Amino acid sequence: MHSAPNLETLDTPCLVLDRTRLGRNLERMAKWVGERGVKLRPHMKTAKCVEVARLAAPAFDAPIAVSTLHEAEYFFTAGYRDIFYCVGLGPGKVARAAELTRRGARLVTMVDSVTAAGAVASAVREGARLSVVIEVDCGEHRGGVSLDSPALLSIARTLGPAYSGIATHGGQSYAARTPAETAAVAKAEAGAARQASARLSEAGFPSRIVSIGSSPTAVADEDLTGITEIRAGVYMFWDLFQAGIGACELGDLALSVLTEVIGRPEGRDEFLIDAGAFALSKDLSTAALPLERRADYGWVCDLDGTLLPDLRVARVWQEHGLVVSARPLAPDSFPVGTRVRILPNHACPTASAHPRYQVIDGARTVTAVWSRTSGW
Amino acid sequence: MHSAPNLETLDTPCLVLDRTRLGRNLERMAKWVGERGVKLRPHMKTAKCVEVARLAAPAFDAPIAVSTLHEAEYFFTAGYRDIFYCVGLGPGKVARAAELTRRGARLVTMVDSVTAAGAVASAVREGARLSVVIEVDCGEHRGGVSLDSPALLSIARTLGPAYSGIATHGGQSYAARTPAETAAVAKAEAGAARQASARLSEAGFPSRIVSIGSSPTAVADEDLTGITEIRAGVYMFWDLFQAGIGACELGDLALSVLTEVIGRPEGRDEFLIDAGAFALSKDLSTAALPLERRADYGWVCDLDGTLLPDLRVARVWQEHGLVVSARPLAPDSFPVGTRVRILPNHACPTASAHPRYQVIDGARTVTAVWSRTSGW
C-alpha cells in the first residue's frame, strides 16, 4: 500500500509548514489591521511563496511588499500587481524596476537620497510607471531621511510627479523586550510617518501612501490616524525570537525543520542531527533575550510539535547540528534514526535555505508541497 | 553597442568567482597532495557546481566528496561516479543512497553506530552497492567512534562485506591559530586514521579507504603513511577565516559579493549596501581571531579586488549591510550607486545563498555564468 508522505518518511532535513497555524496567524493579523481602518500590505520576504501569498493576500490586486526585485518579478509573474519593493532603490536597479512596470506592474519603490531620486525621476520621465516613496528614519538609524533634514523636501522636488508618499520601518522594535517598549516604537513609527507626511503636504507634496510597519509594531495598539498601510511579514510564521519578545505565543509558530538523529556519541548527553547551519541558519537572535528564552540554534520538539524542554541545538556545522540536553539522557533515548522538529530563532533565514515547504495541517501527514523562491 | 556583462553593470548583489585565483588554488592543492602519494578527494560542499568540479576533479572517475545526498545525485547526474557522502548516514537515508547505486554510482557512505551500520548492511544484502567507512573521532568530538571504543569492531562486524575503511576529519583545525597548532591537528588526524585502520586490520577488516582531511590540515606537512586520500573543499575559494588562521593568503580568496551602495546617511561615517545577511550570511567566524584579523560580516574591496582597509561590514539585516569606516569618510565618497566587493568570513554559507557564480578572470568582465545547486 502506498501511503501519503508524512513526517516519519520525508527526506530530512526539510522545512515543515503548519497550515493550521499559518491560517490562524494570517486571520488574526488581517482582522487586527482591518479593524483599525488601514490596509495590510503583507511582506513576502519571509515566505517567498505564491501559495502563502494567496492566503495572506487572496486578491491579485491586493498590496504586497517584497525585499528584492527578484521577488517582485516572481510575484508579478504569479499575478500580483501592487508590489512595494521596500529596500532603498539603488541607481543600478532602476532599469530593472522600470522594466517590470512596462510589463504591467504597479511597482512602488523607495529612496532616501537625491541621487537615487534623480535616477528614478529620470526613468519616470522616460515612461516608467514607478511610484516612489521617501524612506523616513523613525529611530532605527538604518536607512531613511531624518525628519528634520532638508533632504526630505529636496528629494520630493527631485522626484516631482513620481512622488507618492513616505514609508518608515520601526526595526528598533526588535530591540524591545516588553509590550510597553514595543508600543513606544509603534508610537515613534506612526508619529514620524505623520510628521513627515505633514511636512511634505505643506510643501505641496500630498502623500497617497503613508506606509509603516514591522510585525511587532503591527500588533501594538497605536493611533493610526494618517497612516494608509501597515507592512508585516514574519507574523505569517512567527518564530522563537518573536515569541521571546512577546509578539506571539509559542503555539503560533508555524515553521519547523524536520531532522533525523544521525549520531549518538557514547557517554555524552547529546546527539547529532542532520540539520546544521544550512538547514537552521546561524541566526542567534534569541541570544539577546533573557536566559530562559534563549534557544541557541533552536528548540527541539517531537514529531507532533510538543516541546522537549531540556533540549537545545547548541552547535551547528554545515550539515550537522548538536542537540545538548540539560539533564542526563537515558542511554537508549533518541537512538540514531529518531526524528525531531526544530523551532527556529528567526523564520526568515531558516526558510531561505529551503527550496520548498512540506505542508501539514496540524498532524503528521503532508497535505501539500509548496515551492519557494530565493536569490536576487 | 552591446557590451559583455561586467562588474559595473551586473545586477547586485551577486556572487563573483575569480577563475584565475580558483585555478591557482586548485593547482597548488593538487600538486601538494599528489606529491605526497595520496589521492585528493575534492569536497564539493563549498562550490556545489559542476563547472568548478570539472576543474577540481577533471576526470569523471576521479573521487569527489559531498555533504548531502542531493549533491551526490547532482554530481552523479553530471557524470561523476566515485562519490563519498561524508556526513553520518542516518537510517532514513539508506534507501535513497541505495537507489543512487542502482543507477550506477559507486557511493561511499559513513556510519558511527551499530544501528546505522545495521541499516546499511541490510540494504547491501538486498543488492545495494554501497561502500561503508566507519567514522573515527580524531579529537573534534563531533561525530565518530573513539579509537578505544569496542563499537569500532562491533560496527565492522555488523557491516560485514560492506566494510570499506575508515574516515576521520580534523575539524578542530578551525580552532588552531598558528601553523604549529594546525600541524598538531594534522598529526592527530593521520595518527587516529592509522591506529583505527590497524585495529580493524588485525581483527580481519582490511581498509581499502583511509580518508582524512580538512582544508587547513590538508596543507600541513604531516606523514601520510597508511592514508589513501585527503578530503578538502574550502581550499578552492578560501576565505577570510582561512586567511586569518594562516591556511592561505588574502590574495588567494576567489570569492566575493558584488554590491551597490544604496544609502549614505548624512553625517555618519558609514554607508548602506544591498548585500545583507542573505547575500553575505551571518557567519562571524573571524570574530574568534585576533583583533586585526576580524572582519565583522566582511572586508570591503574596490571593483578590482583591492582591499579598502578602513571599512568593515559592521551590521547586517536581511537585505541591507552597513559598512562602517574606522576613519572619517569624505562626504562625497562612496555616493549612492558606488559598487564594492565584499570578502566573506566563510565561503560555504556565503556561496550557499546564491543561485550562480559570475565568473571573472582577474578583470571586471564576466566571462562565464555557472549555476550552483543547494538544498537537500
Of A113, A115, A336, the CB nearest to B90: A336
Cβ pair A146:B266 closer than 8 A: yes
Model pTM score: 0.97
User: What ipTM did this prediction achieve?
Assistant: 0.96
pLDDT at B2: 59
- Tell me the pLDDT band of A2, cut-offs 50, 70 and 90: low
Q: How many CA atoms lie within 13 A of B232 on its CB side?
A: 30
Q: Which residues of A touch B69 (CB under 8 A)?
A: 11
How far is B360 from chain A, CA to nearest CA, in Å? 19
Asked if the model's pLDDT at residue A169 lies above 60, the reply is yes
Cβ pair B143:A320 closer than 8 A: yes
Mean per-residue pLDDT of chain A: 95
CATH of domain B21-236: 3.20.20.10
- Report the C-alpha gap between A52 and A26 in whole angstroms: 10
- Report the C-alpha gap between A231 and A237 in whole angstroms: 15
Mutate to test the interface with A, among B14, B114, B262 (most CBs of A within 10 A): B262
Count CB-CB contacts under 10 A for residue B375. Answer: 19
Cβ pair A336:B91 closer than 8 A: yes
Of B93, B263, B375, the CB nearest to A112: B263
- Tell me the pLDDT band of A220, cut-offs 50, 70 and 90: confident
Of A11, A141, A348, the CB nearest to B376: A11
* Domains of chain A, residue spans: 19-236, 246-371
Cβ pair A113:B264 closer than 8 A: yes
Cβ pair A262:B88 closer than 8 A: yes
Over range B218-243, report the average pLDDT: 92
Q: Give whole-number Cα distances, A34 to A37, A40, A229, B259, in Å.
A: 5, 7, 10, 38
Asked if the model's pLDDT at residue B326 lies above 90, the reply is yes
Over range B315-330, report the average pLDDT: 97
Q: Which residues of B touch A93 (CB under 8 A)?
A: 11-12, 260, 274
- Report the C-alpha gap between A84 and A65 in whole angstroms: 5
pLDDT at B175: 87
pLDDT at B252: 98
Residues A351, A357, A358, CA angle at the centre, nearest 5°?
A: 135
How far is A15 from chain B, CA to nearest CA, in Å? 10
Classified by CATH at the fold level, domain A19-236 comes out as TIM Barrel (3.20.20)
Asked if the model's pLDDT at residue A255 lies above 80, the reply is yes
Nearest CA in chain B to A144: B265
Of B266, B281, B348, the CB nearest to A151: B266
Quick: pLDDT tens for B11-57: 999 999 999 999 999 999 999 999 999 999 999 999 999 999 999 99
When computed from its CA atoms, the radius of gyration of chain B, rounded to whole angstroms, is 22
Contact B75, B66 (CB under 8 A): yes
- Tell me the pLDDT band of B222, cut-offs 50, 70 and 90: confident
Q: Which residues of B touch A232 (CB under 8 A)?
A: none
Asked if the model's pLDDT at residue A282 lies above 80, the reply is yes
Of B266, B318, B336, the CB nearest to A91: B336
Mutate to test the interface with A, among B318, B334, B346, B357 (most CBs of A within 10 A): B318
Quick: pLDDT tens for B109-157: 999 999 999 999 999 999 999 999 999 999 999 999 999 999 999 999 9
pLDDT at B217: 87
Nearest CA in chain A to B355: A375
Asked if the model's pLDDT at residue B106 lies above 60, the reply is yes
pLDDT at A214: 87
Q: Give whole-number Cα distances, A31 to A165, A361, B261, in Å.
A: 25, 22, 38
Q: What percent of chain A has pLDDT over 90?
A: 91
Q: What percent of chain B has pLDDT over 90?
A: 91
Nearest CA in chain A to B324: A142
pLDDT at A180: 87
- Report the C-alpha gap between A50 and A67 in whole angstroms: 15
Cβ pair B113:A68 closer than 8 A: no
Cβ pair A349:B282 closer than 8 A: yes
Over range A211-228, report the average pLDDT: 88
Over range A113-135, report the average pLDDT: 97
Superfamily of chain region A246-371: D-serine dehydratase-like domain (2.40.37.20)
Of A13, A115, A277, the CB nearest to B335: A115
pLDDT at B29: 95
Q: Which residues of B touch A262 (CB under 8 A)?
A: 87-90, 116, 143
